[in-house]
Amino acid sequence: MTQTSPAAASQAFRSTRETELRAPIIEVNHLEKTYKTPRGILNLFSGLDLTVNRGEMVAIVGQSGAGKSTLLHILGALDTPSAGTVYCASINVAKLSPREAAAFRNREIGYVWQFHYLLPEFTALENVAMPLLARGAQKREALQLAANWLKEVDLEDRGGHRPGELSGGEQQRVALARALVNNPRLLLADEPTGDLDQTTAGRVFDLVERLHASHGLTSILVTHNLDLAARCTRALKLEGGRLVPLGAAPPNSN
């Protein structure tokens, strides 16, 4: 039997790793999503394509009802497409079973929504620790990692407070810490500053930018705030069932 030398094996590993790092973290092709309604079939996406490279921060804007949240749900394995392929972190998420999808989300995806969805009966520290406990981490380890993340979002002195005792900006920062405590590769944020005043929204977005850079994240943010969208690597508009660069003419659906 042919033996592979350690040097050759190491070179093969490096080559494979470099290929993985060059590959897009998200690749969507010919995405379709349809719904049956009393008035007939609603075609939400029409041959939608999207490629996101590692390290990018991509903003998605568009009118209400255009499908922005649905697109995030599909990318994060919370929903399935009617047709097309959706690869996220080299995994065809549309083919995952419910159990596999749950494990994938816990491992690879961090979510932040417009509403924080913190559990009101638990402290900020306990809320941040929840995803770790769901993965089977020991409580002491989970709480220590959660405390580290509260420090990352400048809330180390608020860990013992329940969500109702925090301001809106603080609640969203706790939600961001919870989203990232498992060290995901991808951050999906759906209107993360939508419920905040302009000043607080700017501070939360500053924090998102800092964590995106310092933790090597790839981030996709849905927002109506064009000023915040302009600070991202790219800004895309969802219109006519497809994504186009912000400011470009709407796509022809034919």
What is the tens place of the pLDDT at every residue in 161-212?
999 999 999 999 999 999 999 999 999 999 888 888 889 889 999 999 999 9
**For 74-102, what is the mean pLDDT?**
91
HSE of 19, CA atoms in CB hemisphere, 13 A: 7
* Residue scoring higher pLDDT (235 or 115): 235
Length of the chain: 254
Cα 235 from Cα 253, distance rounded (Å): 21
Parallel, antiparallel, or unpaired for β 83-88 and 26-37? antiparallel
First to last CA, the chain: 57
pLDDT above 90 coverage of the chain, percent: 63
The 10 Å Cβ neighbour count of residue 122 is: 14
| pLDDT of 246 | 85
| pLDDT of 3 | 53
Whether pTM > 0.75 for this model: the answer is: yes
* pLDDT classification of 10: cutoffs 50, 70, 90: very low
DSSP string, 48-76: EEEEE-TT-EEEEE--TTSSHHHHHHHHT
* Residue scoring higher pLDDT (149 or 192): 149
Cα 107 from Cα 182, distance rounded (Å): 7
Coil, strand or helix at 239: strand
Alpha-carbon 105 to chain mean position: 10
- Does the domain at residues 24-119+173-245 carry the CATH identifier 3.40.30.10? no
